[in-house]
């Protein structure tokens, strides 16, 4: 590992050691740092889909440093998340993101029995969203009964994990149903992926594609491309099904072709040249997916591309000062809607940057599996 990556991981641990004290004092789940403060998510309280990334970040740093404080902070927020089982109302397909990185991580790293039970509880909630017509329903709300989304490929790991934990194949079968539909309906001939597709909830037939957080209908929202890349790689690691690996490679090749010369990632690969809109979260996710793809294929070009992305982030978009509690800048939640953050720090960007650095350092506990 080059000194610069090692140094970046060491400094990230130092920075988050100090800023996590502030989160613990505030008693919140940090979503982004703003004006020297941690701010909570703008929507749905502690049920917002991003709640797992902070404890996930703490688990990564605990694995790297063995500092018990990181573990305590991860457990503190993990409890806030499992409390959301009770209200239930806002939980959706993103229980994978939320609980793999919180109780799922606790179960993996500490073998705590309750954490394992909570992980299975979350997996059962995800399983309950399977429409046997062929897809996992993304969100609640009467008009969204047939909606499925590329991001869900990341959540499927919770189902694969539950089958491994219990020996019950139901969870894995549900995950495969959704992954096969995503392969058939979301992957485009050029290696890009759609963001949202609506199916008829009775027949499972495709109704239409919807625009989501990208530039426009039919465009290439970069974070969606990154979810597809990492998500299909994980589906392959969970199943050894070569069709998923082929999909991951196609999506990776398209992503790599769109990495900017400075190593950063545009918010949408089809956005107008005149528009300077960056989403570094997409680059950080893709770097993680590409490093796993390199391990799965032994193709060095995937590691090279991952390092180009990490280098871009380290060189241009890390704020190491105390003025900002988070680290990665120029994170953008959505192309058109700035409500959840534009060109700012958002904790899931920090999570994936630290996951990428942990992979390079050899300390990544691989919380997705
Ligand atoms: N999973 C939602 C997003 O990436 O914004």
Q: Which residue has the tokens 């939980």?
A: 91
Domain locations in the chain as residue ranges: 3-324+331-361
* Residue 151 annotated to the active site: yes
Query: What pLDDT score does 150 carry?
Result: 98
**Ligand 1 proximity of 213 Cβ (cutoff 6 Å):** yes
Q: Report pLDDT digits (tens) over 101-118.
A: 999 999 999 999 999 999
**Ligand 1 proximity of 49 Cβ (cutoff 6 Å):** yes
Q: How far is the CA of 51 from the centre of ligand 1 (A)?
A: 12
Query: What pLDDT score does 2 carry?
Result: 74
Q: Report pLDDT digits (tens) over 244-274.
A: 999 999 999 999 999 999 999 999 999 999 9
Ligand 1: which residue has its CA nearest to atom 1?
151
Q: How far is the CA of 66 from the centre of ligand 1 (A)?
A: 30
Q: Report pLDDT digits (tens) over 40-96.
A: 999 999 999 999 999 999 999 999 999 999 999 999 999 999 999 999 999 999 999
Query: What pLDDT score does 175 carry?
Result: 98
Per-residue pLDDT for 3 more than 90? no
Q: Which residue of 151, 153, 334 sits with most ligand 1 atoms within 8 Å of its CB, as the best mutation to test the pocket?
A: 151
Query: What pLDDT score does 1 carry?
Result: 63
* Overall residue count recorded for the chain in this entry: 369
**Ligand 1 proximity of 330 Cβ (cutoff 6 Å):** no
Q: Report pLDDT digits (tens) over 174-232.
A: 999 999 999 999 999 999 999 999 999 999 999 999 999 999 999 999 999 999 999 99
Domain 3-324+331-361 class in CATH: mainly alpha
* Residue 190 annotated to the active site: no
**Ligand 1 proximity of 186 Cβ (cutoff 6 Å):** no
Closest listed residue to residue 139, CA positions, set 188, 196, 63: 196
Residue-wise over 255-288: b if at least 16 C-beta within 10 A, else e? bbebbeeebbbbbbbebeeeeebbbbbbbbbbbb
Q: Report pLDDT digits (tens) over 265-321.
A: 999 999 999 999 999 999 999 999 999 999 999 999 999 999 999 999 999 999 999
Six token digits for residue 231: 């998500």
Query: What pLDDT score does 109 carry?
Result: 98
């Amino acid at each position: 590992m080059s000194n610069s990556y090692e140094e970046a991981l060491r400094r990230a641990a130092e920075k988050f050691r100090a800023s996590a004290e502030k989160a613990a004092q505030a008693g919140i789940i940090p979503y982004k740092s703003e004006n020297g403060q941690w701010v909570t998510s703008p929507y749905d309280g502690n049920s917002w889909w991003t709640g797992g990334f902070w404890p996930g970040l703490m688990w990564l740093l605990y694995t790297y440093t063995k500092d018990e404080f990181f573990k305590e902070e991860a457990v503190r927020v993990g409890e806030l998340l499992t409390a959301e089982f009770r209200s239930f109302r806002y939980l959706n397909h993103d229980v994978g993101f939320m609980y793999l990185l919180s109780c799922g991580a606790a179960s993996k790293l500490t073998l705590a029995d309750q954490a394992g039970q909570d992980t299975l509880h979350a997996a059962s909630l995800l399983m309950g969203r399977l429409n046997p017509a062929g897809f996992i329903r993304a969100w609640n709300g009467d008009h969204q009964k047939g909606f499925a989304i590329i991001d869900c490929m990341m959540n499927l790991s919770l189902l694969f994990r539950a089958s491994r934990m219990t020996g019950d194949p139901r969870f894995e079968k549900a995950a495969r149903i959704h992954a096969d539909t995503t392969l058939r309906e979301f992957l485009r001939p050029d290696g890009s992926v759609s963001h949202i597709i609506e199916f008829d909830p009775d027949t499972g037939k495709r109704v239409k594609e919807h625009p989501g957080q990208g530039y426009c209908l039919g465009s290439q929202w970069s974070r969606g491309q990154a979810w597809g890349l990492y998500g299909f790689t994980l589906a392959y690691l969970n199943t050894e099904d070569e069709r998923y690996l082929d999909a991951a490679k196609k999506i990776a090749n398209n992503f790599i072709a769109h990495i900017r010369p400075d190593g950063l990632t545009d918010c949408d690969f089809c956005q107008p040249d005149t528009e300077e809109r960056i989403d570094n979260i997409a680059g950080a996710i893709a770097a993680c997916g590409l490093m796993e793809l390199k391990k799965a294929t032994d193709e060095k070009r995937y590691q090279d591309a991952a390092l180009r992305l990490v280098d871009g982030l380290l060189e241009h978009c890390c704020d190491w000062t105390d003025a900002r509690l988070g680290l990665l800048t120029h994170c953008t939640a959505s192309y058109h809607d700035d409500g959840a953050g534009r060109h700012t720090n958002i904790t899931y960007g920090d999570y994936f940057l630290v996951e990428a650095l942990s992979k390079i350092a050899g300390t990544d506990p691989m919380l997705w599996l």
